[in-house]
Structure 1
Amino acid sequence: MNLINTQEYSLSQLFSNPYRKIIIPDFQRDYCWGDKTHGENKTDIISGFLDTLIDEFNNNRYSDVLLGKIDVYQQPLNHIYLTDGQQRLTSLYLLLGMLYRIENNEEQKQKIKHCLITDYEEPHLQYAVRESTVFFLKDLILDFCLEKKSLLNDKYSNAKQEELINNEETLIAYTIKNQLWYFNEYDQDPSVISMLLTLSAIEKKKDALLVEGFSSFVLDKLKIQYYDVQNKKHGEERFVIINTTGKNLTVSENIKPILLANIQNIDFSKQWENRENYFWKNRNINENIADNGVNDFLTWCFQIIGQQDEINLIKQAKQRLKEKKNEQYLLEIQSLFNALNQLIKYLTDKKFQTQFQFINDNEEVKDIINLRNLSSEKQHNILLPLLSFISKFQDAKEETYLFLRRLRKNYFDFKWNDRNNNYVDWRYILQMIEGSNNIEQLLQFDITITPITLIQNINLNIWFNEEEKIKLKLYTHRVNIEHWEDHESFMGDLSFLFKVHAVNMDNTVIPIINSDMPIDFENLKREFNNYQSIIGLISNCKNAVQNIPLANMFRLFRLFIGCNKVGHIYKTTRGQFEGVLFSNLNREHFSKIEFLKLLKNTDLLTSCITFIKNRIKEDDIFNLEIFTVDKFIKAWLTLKVFYANEKNTILSFYDANDTGVSAYIDKDRNRLVNTEEFSLSNSICGFAVQSGFGAGNYVHYTNDTQWCNADIIDTPFSAIAYKEKDRTFEQIKQNNDTINYIINTLIG
């Protein structure tokens, strides 16, 4: 759910987005509500705040309660920086952590958990004020609130425990300070100190909070007004004003009277009113004024004209008035508004919509509201250059489409790390538009012919590079080229495909393409089709049934060439086990010479098998006398793939919660029968689990209904009983016979 300016949201709406982080920026002061030196009459503010919540629950539990507003700016998407309201929101977040510990209803606990941590197990609330606060809050939520550890540690003496029980204010603080993750430096952090006092205050009122329905009331009935101040600079200015005068900025501060000052031409006033009417008619569903739309559009205009990111609209407008350039500026604004309307018309064309869907994560973009909801990166890299281009070249639909395709490529150069060295900053592109007379000159822009101004600390990469030059040579095949560019792996850049075409089967390094290289178009087409077919078997596992043997074998091929590496699983504690995302399709294959060579072959399956068998021999993969998790998992998955192909079944695409196929570093912990020596026949791989609820980290294996199925990764190959107590040496021998059959007959 996108948060809409000036709307009221519950805590569950603010926090439960699985990707959203609410961040206390570095210019904020420390958290202080738990500190008695900051409250009235030298009492902590948090106790009075909690009493208010308890009273509201007792008296108005079924009604919404507005707790004021928060000022924020969002950049990038789902990273919300708090410029006002941090004390209140932090207190509520700590309250949620404590409510999770004491809540008895499991369904309600899960709702609270979603408000505490993201899908990546990061706290929804993060402090950038001080590094120690960041780590403390993360450890507090993940390892204390969610782990639900016992209140008192056994190392306390009976006398000390009794002292703590009689001193409720310090009980929680002592318990937290006794955790293994609590560092001494936290004692010097004012925010941490105040948070501990707040937790003590909450603990003190635990009986009043344990009432049935209170946690639901906190999650769903407490409302906060969301106010977006647009960007960091405005947020900092707002913070200074709020914390010096106590007053908020008002909507009346706008640039209309500034830019229209001393303007005699009445058309400019009419144009302004028309734009306001337009944004009123095309406002977001929950907006009751046109101001937000007008401000968004004017921000785009100032960014395009000034060719800069951080824009203070008021300051810029005053500067134009001072320079007596406001009339010229109004002309440019109207031209860009006309361009915006033209772009909206273009978006009725399916091919324009398709390109925007590529850019916008398959979300439809068809009107001004959708354009306003684009992330700042997408607005900068796509929308602003498009508006500038249309404003200059006006009614040039086909040329605009070609430029959109080129911008789409540049956006993914920005988005994908392996292509960053091709990315051209949007501010340079705006200069290129200014310096071009037509679409051909723009797409082939050469800074040696038309110089542009360098931007400090911003690299200028080559816009019309060797890959673009090769595609220009292949212009007669434009239909095919555009189809290839639209593949989800390429998004405009065919460099990899040209490298496949150029690779020599004897080479050990990836070739560097150049525009003089010869191209056999039919071979190039075959190489693309090879790529599309083999990647499609993994990118959409439903496609795997179209070629079961290759779908299984190609995943193993990627493992052996290092696209997916066995190692530490970032979501789990180090030192116990390692694993690999066997079915995860990343972009590592673009950097592997073995993959380039594979695509040159006419028989992909045979080529994969031949390569894998050679690697098995080279690495002596089934010899586990010197045990490593890497070798064990590769041996295990090799057996699984060849056995699944023998049974003509798709090996499971399950990769757990992004923990992958895993095994214990201590080889004996991987045994099926603990009384027998470790071996391939007396071992098993599974999927790693990190429990946040006291069970610890472990490797999990499949259930009894899937046990010994050929398509399941985390199960033996044959004859082993599901329950450990029922397993025997004879079963291990039978499992060994199956493994030997796979090695000797199927692998050879």
Structure 2
Amino acid sequence: MNRNIRLEGGENYSLSTLFSGDNDKVVIPDLQRDYCWGNEDVNLVGPFIDSLMELDKSQNLTMGLIYGYYDELCPNHLQLCDGQQRLTTLFLTLGVLNRLTQGRYKTLLMSQYELQEDDNEPYLLYSIRESSLYFISDLVSHYFLQTDEKDKKLMSINDITTCPWYLNSYKTDPTIASIVSAIITIEEKFLGKSMENLIELGDFISGIEGGRPHIDFLYYDMKNRHNGEETFVVINTTGEPLTANQNLKPVIIEQYRDTINCIEDKWEEMETWFWQNRDKTEKTHTSDEGMSEFLRCVRLYYADTVDNYVNSIEDKDRFPYKTISFKQIYDLFKAYRRIYELDYTERNDLNVNYNNKNNRGKYTSEQLYSLLPTLRYVMHFATVTDNDIKRFYHIFFSVAKYQNVNNSRTKEGKTDVPIMRAMQVVDDMTDKDVLCLRDSAKLNDQEKSKLSFIWNNLENRELAEMSIVNAENIVLFDRRIKTVLDWCDNSIERLDFYTKKIKTLWWGDCRNNIDPLRRALLTCQWNLYPITVENKSHKTLGWEWSQWFTFFTKNDILVKEFLESNLSIDDRIKQFDDTNNPYYSIIKEGKYLGESLWKNLYDYGNIIILMEKERAQANYCIFMNGIPYPKHELGGGWKTPWRWENLLYCNHTHYDLTIDYLYDEKNGYQVLIWSGKNKSFIPFKSLSEVSSYGFEKCEKGREGWISHYICDVNEAKALAIKVAKWIDSVGN
């Protein structure tokens, strides 16, 4: 006889361990309800099997908790108090797979000892009534274990009612009816599957191949039949205490069993739904995780003080099951499920989803800001339609995209919870239609402007809403479209016009695609373009979307006129002829903006420094009155030019020499060469020879020489370059 297995609390177990040993059994005791997943009105077996087949089978998956205990009368029989529906369905699945794989899983259905020496009891015993108990034994013996095609006594589960072992008492047993229906569904799901796929699934479900990835369950030992309160001492496989929410089920069921009909069914309904809606791409996500996060939402929803809300956010204490009733939990679950299952993509909203990969399956503040007020809305108005819900959710989803909704401290030192204030908006609603919020003092101007626009287009409401959605989808606005709505005079046609024009000009990757637009905007010569960067000395031609948003809001009338103009971007650039404009070369030649990665610059009036990045250590190009002076243009012996007040200067890297490039608005340009700035450098002995280039001696530094005034900017620049290169060639 093989040794028997006794489960230890806090450990994970595969089905090949649960269904093993000569005399070990998993017993569904009489305190449990009927098996119901196969019922047509419940219909949970099909989706459950689908989810099993879709699982990534490359790593272990913990399906959740099972609760049970051992008693003195049957020390090797695990009395299962929770997990009945899942384990039963998995047992039936293994039975079907055993028939289809020529007996590969027979050792998980019934032990050799039972089959050959005892009374054919399977590993799963249904003790809720005598007929269920006998039926499972007959089912395993006469159906699941019949695997040889020649010896199969039954070709289909539909034939069992004609068998001599199918007793009359089986016909009226609801558990048996549900089991038969479940097997029919399972067999239908496996039709057409290859032997390889069936074995892969069966091995993963069962864990029959030791060491390979498989499904397992975390076992919680309830000690005895009545012990449901001591649920906070279990440790999970990582050695950390389980949360209060994970251990909550037996406590709540015991608390409300006498006042809530079918409370076990309702709890199982919730757990099953969260299993079906877990994140199937994340191997660590289980139904317990989703259920736990939902229960955290329940606490947040019913938090009546800021302190209670903060404690609930951080899960600092156990779930207040005596003050939040099961009815409140279940009613909120129905609202939650309805919200969760809607498709929000038509409004460019992300679907409600607790599977946030950056927060280990917990909702972020932004997600809660959308979800909790919507839950309050659904609970508050009994007749809301799906479209009503999506309209309401859209408002708060939008706000959370551009407004800080995290908790903060007020000047008085109190904690401000924006999400609680958002839920209070629902309490002020006089009608389920969100348009009643268009004058609400608790809603910001951005959202009120959208509602007012819709209100003024009630006859074409859907069209107005979708036009707003299209405008919100322009990434630079981040859903803040009040500026554009203010241009429209409540005209849907005008809104669509501006939306299309802005998308055409700004849409896409602003780093690569819209340099012509930047150059065209420079031709407008607006005071607020280039854009001032907050807390920075430099400006930008538009890089981050937030910078473009600032540009729109501060230049709204000018931008409106720009969008309405029939003049194309190319025509604006071609027709620009102001050669004295400091941006002239940047406008006329696209290569300069192409070399500026982040579109940063310094604007000093007639001198512009166009940066490759943000800091001067990277490349840059200086423009004086629109003429470019790139780095090293004077020659390799000279440092890079830079600005001082209204002139450009450049120091030599070896000699005590500086070249200044001067501009006088009245007289024109001059080139000044002088020594004495860098006295530690080597003196240049031949400086007086620049007189041959038309320079005259002047009082500047130790020795200075200056050119006459030159009207033509290119002639003046050429002289500076010629003299600089002459100095490098002459040396000392």
Larger radius of gyration: 2
Fold-level similarity (TM above 0.5): no
Q: State the TM-score, normalizing by the size of structure 2.
A: 0.42
> Scaled by the length of structure 1, what TM-score is found?
0.41
Taking CA–CA contacts closer than 8 Å with sequence separation of 6 or more, which of the two structures ends up with the larger relative contact order? 1
